[in-house]
Structure 1
Amino acid sequence: MPEGETIHIDVVSDVVCPWCYVGERHLAAALGLMEGIEAVIRWRPYQLDASIPPEGRDRQTYLLDKFGDPARIEAMHRRLREMGEAAGITFNFEAIKVSPNTLDAHRLIRWAASAGPGIQARLVRRLFQLYFEEGADIGRGEVLLDAARAAGMDAALAETLLPTGADRAEVEAEIATAHRMGITGVPCFLLEGRYALMGAQPPEALAEAIGKVAAAKAAGALDDETQE
């Protein structure tokens, strides 16, 4: 394992994606398995369904429209509960009443990236917790502001910016870029901007991939690829 190497990881995700929540926990566990590598993590936006109106949709109606068969929905939830339990997540799907539009949540996550060390990661985890474990409507401004405060952000600044169009176009442009890159499902972990791992990979698989990229970077192999 290369010592003292810094690896940049961009995580493309949506905060209403249960697999992304599992992926967030798996990434944290993977980094805990590694020594001597510093990970710089940036959370990037993606919307599973940008057509949801700003006020959201009734959750049960939305799921039935999307998946059709209640048995299929229950099977999916059962599998996620099992995976969540292993990752330390208590999925509470019954508590979720609204399927929100997540554009404002992604704007908040974008601002958190420049709010101080660790704040973006704390905000992302809090949003996942609010939605999947507490059933909160993370499309609502007051819920987002509570999450911002919990993460250590300047909630007054967020309260000023959220009602405006600030960074809406920038977030939408990032989502469009993800689609152009061929990202059609999340989570997607981009290592050093060039190696992609799709899905909620097990911690061991993430750690192995991060270690290989770190070793290649330490050996200058990534620089060699850039020069080709």
Structure 2
Amino acid sequence: MTASPTVSIDVVSDVVCPWCFIGQKRLDKAIAAAEGIEVEVNWRPFQLDPTIPAGGLDRQDYMLGKFGSEDRIREIHARIEPLGAAEGIAFDFDAIKVSPNTLDAHRVIRWAGATSREVQGKLVRRLFSLYFEQGGNVGDPAVLVAAAREAGMDATVVEALLSTDADADAVRAEIATASRMGVTGVPCFLLEGRYAVMGAQEAETLADAIRQVATAKARGELDSAG
């Protein structure tokens, strides 16, 4: 029997998007469910709000400005928390004190990807957990350097690069490319660079998409698709 081909998935996400954290957990389940199919995951940048200054903003003030009232904020959190709990996420929105600009986080994620997909995956998971479960400021260079070290990166190199503008334009260009492709919200799972699954879909929905694309690829049906 011919081995199943590898399916590549580009995950367009932002580390301060709770639905992206849920989507990451569901993707892990989907990959486990799609037995016999090798999946290569690449994390791609998106900024929910690139206008946030480099130092970040007070979280409470930012959320009030965005949603209008504490009641509305509580309502949104109350809807997300049980969905997260079902995926093993202990959301602690009250612990989050800063709404950060995530450009630097995406730069580190990009560098992690140049190391390996495994390291990149570890870093993304660490940043999600730091922000949503521990209230960590993922816009703080010191927090990013520590997360990079824990993921297996060379922290000295990361610290040196963060003090420069290295790859800032490249990250912005990737985000612009995603927007041109029609990505207006995240997470977005792009299979083989052409089939998009939008939103934090259930694991089985993602697994079905992986199976379908793997089957089509095995049949050579993607070779001539444009």
Q: TM-score of the superposition, structure 1-length normalised?
A: 0.97
- Aligned partner of 1:156 in structure 2 is 156
Residue aligned with 2:6, SS: strand
Q: Deviations over 1:5-41 (max 9, x none)?
A: 2001000000000000000000001011121111111
- Aligned partner of 2:6 in structure 1 is 6
- Aligned partner of 1:65 in structure 2 is 65
- Aligned partner of 1:18 in structure 2 is 18
Tell me, in whole angstroms, the C-alpha distance in 1 between the residues paired with 2:183 and 2:93.
26
Q: Deviations over 1:143-163 (max 9, x none)?
A: 001100110011111011001
Q: Deviations over 1:79-117 (max 9, x none)?
A: 111000000000000000000000000000000001134
2:202 corresponds to 1:170? no
Tell me, in whole angstroms, the C-alpha distance in 2 between the residues paired with 1:132 and 1:214.
33
- Aligned partner of 2:179 in structure 1 is 179
Paired residue type of 1:178: A
Tell me, in whole angstroms, the C-alpha distance in 2 between the residues paired with 1:135 and 1:5.
40
Deviation at 1:75, TM superposition (A): 1.2
Deviation at 1:181, TM superposition (A): 0.8
Residue aligned with 1:9, SS: strand
- Aligned partner of 1:221 in structure 2 is 221
- Aligned partner of 1:84 in structure 2 is 84
Residue aligned with 1:49, SS: coil
- Aligned partner of 1:30 in structure 2 is 30
Paired residue type of 2:197: L
Return 12-21 or 215-224, whichever deviates more. 215-224
- Aligned partner of 1:118 in structure 2 is 118
Deviation at 1:132, TM superposition (A): 0.2
Identify unmatched segments of 5+ residues in structure 2. none
Q: Deviations over 1:45-85 (max 9, x none)?
A: 00000000000000010001001122221111011110000
- Aligned partner of 1:97 in structure 2 is 97
Paired residue type of 2:48: L
Query: In the alignment, is the contact (CA less than 8 A) between 1:3 and 1:35 conserved in 2?
Result: no
- Aligned partner of 1:130 in structure 2 is 130
Give RMSD over aligned pairs: 1.0
Deviation at 1:4, TM superposition (A): 2.7
Query: In the alignment, is the contact (CA less than 8 A) between 2:41 and 2:117 conserved in 1?
Result: no
Paired residue type of 1:175: I
Q: Decide whether aligned partners of structure 1 residues 3 and 76 sit closer, same or farther in structure 2, where only a CA change above 3 A counts.
A: farther
Paired residue type of 1:62: Y
Paired residue type of 1:102: T
Identify unmatched segments of 5+ residues in structure 1. none
Paired residue type of 1:114: A
Query: In the alignment, is the contact (CA less than 8 A) between 2:8 and 2:191 conserved in 1?
Result: yes
Query: In the alignment, is the contact (CA less than 8 A) between 1:6 and 1:214 conserved in 2?
Result: yes
Q: Deviations over 1:175-225 (max 9, x none)?
A: 111111111000000000000011000000000011001100000111132
Query: In the alignment, is the contact (CA less than 8 A) between 2:21 and 2:128 conserved in 1?
Result: yes
